[in-house]
Amino acid sequence: MPLRVLKAEATSPSNESPKPHKSGSLCYILGGIIVAIVLIFLYVFRKRTKLQKQTTTATTKEQQVFGKHNESAEVMRMIFSSNQQSGSKEFFSGNLRTISCFDYQTLKKATNNFHADNLLGSGGFGPVYQGTLIDGRLIAVKKLSLNKSQQGEKEFLVEVRTITSIQHKNLVRLVGCCIDGPQRILVYEYMRNRSLDLFIHGNSDQFLNWNTRFQIILGVARGLQYLHEDSHQRIVHRDIKASNILLDDKFQPRIGDFGLARFFPEDQAYLSTQFAGTLGYTAPEYAIRGELSEKADIYSFGVLVLEIICCRKNTEHILSPEKQYLPEYAWKLYENARILDIVDPKLRQDGFVEKDVMQAIHVAFLCLQPHAHLRPPMSQIVALLTFKIEMVTTPLRPAFLDRMPRKDHENHSLKALSQDFTSPIYT
């Protein structure tokens, strides 16, 4: 018996020896798991850091590409009031006009994806398309040309800021605008008879009688009077010409395209600024010396009046030399007591009141005076056109600014122009 007991006690330690071995293995496993977790954490951390760097770089590049557009959007937020009604897409500019902020897809659908069949025309800002909104309203959509965005962007902001601060029956009405990424679009009321140049530059078979022409002349004059004298801010349009005069279904005129307009300080006679506008309509002191005032618009109005009466462009190089520049040709006829020869032959055939036409021509010559201070203000021009005051001033010989042929009329170098004419008075 004692021997058996001793044997049992001898074998007992051999049965318990594996326990410490299992504990060591468990520690190794737990350690491996912890190391794996740490490695995974470091991997995820590095990936996240790298992704953040890539995102930051991409954002920086995007800001560099669209920086000017983001800046415009910020300016637009400053132009419009932040008081937007719930569910409304209309914004108030802080002055007179409430306009809508259109979605790009809405305008794309309204113009059939800006289809060429809906193209109304094209200017410095970009193409203009006819469109129809879901509610049936006709609109004119002026789309910024992206490849001209540096100039167009500025004109877009100027036009929105200007046109939302004024309101007159002879100024075009801005319905809304669109800012979507790089897209900059202006939306106007649609004018059924489009622009004046279609009628007076021979692009339409429709004849305008004298009453209609006089209505257009007087309406433009009243619109300019509002901009220069009656608006709460003095505004110079800088690009009065036939293509910027829009006509509604009753041929009432509305001045459009305020992309070059300037707010003008009340206490300054003129601003020294870089030339912008259309040669042939431009006052000499502005084109040559950069002296801008409302008298530059008045000069342009004088050219426009002659165009409406004659039904031709102010410059026609296909004509004989003495007839090429309209103001110069008109003055020659005036000096020879044959001024009515300048009247549109169709208008002479239809009939007109000679006294009224003579008054309008006389007003045009007063607007074309060589010195800015000799041109009457628009309020006096309106009074003269409506015979509310008598014509007592005899006009001087106008300033003839455009007498040389060129292929690109609107973009001709002013340097070459000033070489041809050494004085701002061209007689």
138-177 pLDDT, tens per residue? 999 998 876 654 556 777 787 788 878 788 999 998 888 8
Confidence band for 367, pLDDT divided at 50, 70 and 90: very high
**Predicted local confidence at residue 21, as pLDDT:** 60
3 state DSSP class of 13: helix
CB 243 within 8 A of CB 121: yes
Which top CATH class is 197-420?
mainly alpha
Angle at 170 between CA 165 and CA 174, to 5 degrees: 45
Angle at 201 between CA 196 and CA 205, to 5 degrees: 85
Does pLDDT of 411 surpass 80?
no
Q: So which residues are the catalytic ones?
A: 239
Query: pLDDT > 90: what percent of the chain?
Result: 42
Which regions of the chain carry the CATH code 3.30.200.20?
90-189
State the average pLDDT for the chain: 79
CB 325 within 8 A of CB 402: yes
Does pLDDT of 332 surpass 80?
yes
Q: String of b and e for 131-164 (b: at least 16 CB within 10 Å)? A: bebeeeeebbbbbbeeeebeebbebbbbbbbbbb
Confidence band for 77, pLDDT divided at 50, 70 and 90: low
Global model pTM greater than 0.85? no
Confidence band for 180, pLDDT divided at 50, 70 and 90: confident
Which regions of the chain carry the CATH code 1.10.510.10?
197-420
Query: pLDDT > 70: what percent of the chain?
Result: 74
**Predicted local confidence at residue 154, as pLDDT:** 73
- Give residue-wise pLDDT tens across range 215-267: 999 999 999 999 999 988 889 999 999 999 999 999 999 999 888 888 877 76
- Give residue-wise pLDDT tens across range 46-59: 877 777 666 555 44
Mean pLDDT, rounded, for 191-213: 90
Return the structure tokens found at 286: 């502005």
Q: Return the CATH architecture of domain 90-189.
A: 2-Layer Sandwich (3.30)
**Predicted local confidence at residue 32, as pLDDT:** 79
Nearest-angstrom CA–CA distance, 282 and 134: 41
Does pLDDT of 73 surpass 70?
no
Who has greater pLDDT, 259 or 354? 354
Does pLDDT of 88 surpass 60?
no
Mean pLDDT, rounded, for 387-411: 67
**Predicted local confidence at residue 380, as pLDDT:** 96
Does pLDDT of 203 surpass 50?
yes
Nearest-angstrom CA–CA distance, 131 and 106: 10
Does pLDDT of 205 surpass 90?
no
| Residues whose CB falls within 8 Å of the CB of residue 19, separated by 6 or more in sequence, listed in order | none
First to last CA, the chain: 150
**Predicted local confidence at residue 76, as pLDDT:** 55
